[in-house]
Amino acid sequence: MIKVSDIAKNKVIELMNDDGYDASTDYVRVGVKSGGCSGLSYDLKFDKSQEEGDKVFEDNNIKIIVDKKSFLYLIGTTLEYSGGLNGTGFVFNNPNASRTCGCGESFSL
């Protein structure tokens, strides 16, 4: 399961609306791909449909899709949004990560 903080929820809804998506029917697709300074990096985008094998969650009225391969890396993760001095953007609070990079966009297990 992936959780969504209140601040992240508000930002997701705002960005989905800006990009022509509807948070009540469309999805946030979260995944993991090779790359980044720690070996794996997070991928987040909006999607209107599910693909075969996708895991679907809903938290805080946000629908989230995770592909089967990424699911194991993301169990228990909370999607948050930071607007602080260290930069603005989505932050993945992942309890499975043993090491993260300084920018928070990549991790290793």
What backbone phi and psi angles, to 5 degrees, belong to 90?
-75, 145
Please tell me the pTM assigned to this model: 0.82
**Residues 92, 82 contacting (CB under 8 angstroms):** no
pLDDT of residue 106 exceeding 80, the answer is: no
d(CA 20, CA 83): 23
Residue-level pLDDT at 85: 66
**pLDDT, mean of residues 40-61:** 93
Kind of pairing between the strands at 62-66 and 27-34: parallel
H or E stretch at 87 = strand 87-93
Confidence of residue 9 (pLDDT cuts 50, 70, 90): very high
Can you tell me the mean pLDDT for 15-35?
Answer: 93
Residue 103 pLDDT greater than 80, yes or no: no
Instruction: Give CATH for domain 3-108.
Output: 2.60.300.12
User: For the segment 19-28, what is each residue's pLDDT rounded down to a tens digit?
Assistant: 999 999 999 9
Give the pLDDT confidence score for residue 42 in this predicted structure: 85
Average of pLDDT values for 81-92? Answer: 78
pLDDT of 41 strictly over 70: yes
